[in-house]
Amino acid sequence: MSVKRLFTSESVTEGHPDKLCDQVSDGILDAVLAQDPGAHVACETCTTTGVVMVMGEMTANAQVDVEGIVRETVKNIGYDGSGDSFDYKTCAVLSAIHGQSPDIAMGVNNALENRAGGTDRYDLIGAGDQGMMFGYACRETRELMPAPITFAHELTRKLAEVRKNGKVPFILPDGKSQVTVRYDENGAPERFDAIVISTQHLDSVSLEQVREAVIEEVIYQAVPKRLLDKDTKIYVNPTGRFVIGGPQGDSGLTGRKIIVDTYGGYARHGGGAFSGKDPTKVDRTGAYYARYIAKNLVAAGLADKCELQLAYAIGVAQPVSVLVDSFGTGKLDDGKLADIVRRHFDMRPAAMIEQLDLRKPVYRQVAAYGHMGRPDLDLTWERCDKAGELAQYLK
């Protein structure tokens, strides 16, 4: 017998120090791919008071202005010196980027299958690392995403929107949201049990002003009112003050918000982050493709919720394992669903890259507010173009 339960997810704004770093790393990746779609990039960024440092490996036929990309990204986020000491004009920018290890390149550029005599062009590229990746989809929202992370992202996007359009001019770039959803006995979202928002603000405004503006212009505008009731607990800046924020208040690092990037903890996450990595890195491409598969299985009606795991060995094109878990909602058993996946989806890196068109500079736009379930973006891994083909198995 099902019981009611609570689940919580968080999101952060584009001005959060970790997200600032993700956006810098993906901004550099996009700039490189615009010049050399076949580039190999693994770019990390860290930041603290007055400093942004870019580091990592890159092998590319491209010349990019790393400092210019850093300053433009920081400026676009909103750290322009107005009301905050971190400033795109005056922060120091350090770069420590070197070439990719030839030991890694050897397996990526010439997969084990190709070395063994394979003739298929998709056998040319091996996985850029070992590891496991997960994709997930469910029927809780129109995006086929879990409700808690979907609404947490809606809140942080709205925080940025009202800051940038001047509707709430005293909000500054750093911020977080957290949403606790109560589910009914059938596992459907029933109500918001708690909403937490912490937002950086000008020193000149009171907590009461911040709270009133956030409730009226952010919460009430961003999430469905049908899920709000008199018992929903709403916390706005519960410490009472959030003036010092961004890299001045906390250090930032690429890849430190991986749960925010995917499913808010509702589904499992693999071992790697996404930002700053070119598409030969299966940490990124495998996770995107696993989401694509899971979403198409759910959209086809083969399951109401679905989690897919892929695993790879470095330098090998074919995944070493494929697992489907439909949590008892599958119209066929999970083993048969896994067979269907193998039949209809080519999970070799070169095939995934080509099918999802991943050599284009599309990554900076997903470096904040989630890589999955983005109704505001036309992402190839969010399309349900295989659903009709897969629906034949329901007959």
What is the tens place of the pLDDT at every residue in 326-340?
A: 999 999 999 999 999
pLDDT at 104: 59
Mean pLDDT value of segment 37-64? 95
Q: Which residues pair with 196 in a beta bridge?
A: 178, 235
Per-residue confidence (pLDDT) for residue 376, from 0 to 100: 94
pLDDT score, position 81: 81
Q: What is the pLDDT of residues 215-224, one digit of tens each?
A: 999 999 999 9
- CA 278 and chain centroid, separation: 15
Q: Over the stretch 94-123, which tens digit does the pLDDT of each residue have?
A: 999 987 666 655 556 666 666 767 667 777
Q: What is the mean pLDDT of residues 3-11?
A: 93
Which amino acid would we find at residue 212? E
Residue 1 has pLDDT above 50, yes or no: no
Confidence grade of residue 129 (pLDDT, cut at 50, 70, 90): confident
pTM for the model: 0.95
124 falls in which pLDDT band (50, 70, 90)? confident
Is it the case that residue 23 has pLDDT exceeding 60?
yes
Average pLDDT over residues 3-27: 96
Q: What per-residue confidence (pLDDT) applies to 119?
A: 66
If phi > 0 it is left, if psi is from -120 to 50 it is alpha, else beta; for residue 131 that is left
For residue 263, what are the β-bridge partners?
A: none
Contact between residue 91 and residue 51 where contact means Cβ atoms under 8 Å apart: yes
Contacts of 68 (CB under 8 A, 6+ apart): none
pLDDT in tens, 225-280: 999 999 999 999 999 999 999 999 999 999 999 999 999 999 999 989 999 999 99
Q: For 183-226, what is each residue's pLDDT tens digit? A: 999 999 999 999 999 999 999 999 999 999 999 999 999 999 99
Strands 189-201 and 233-236: parallel
Run of H or E including 175: strand 171-183
Closest by CA position to 75, among listed 151, 140, 24: 24
Distance CA 313, CA 342 (A): 18
Task: Kindly provide the b/e burial profile for residues 65-75, where b requires at least 16 CB atoms within 10 angstroms of the residue's own CB.
Answer: ebeebbbebbe
pLDDT range class, residue 125, cuts 50, 70, 90 = confident
> Average pLDDT in the 139-144 region?
97
The rounded mean pLDDT for the chain is 94
Amino acid at position 306, single letter: C
Q: Mean pLDDT over residues 307-314, rounded?
A: 96
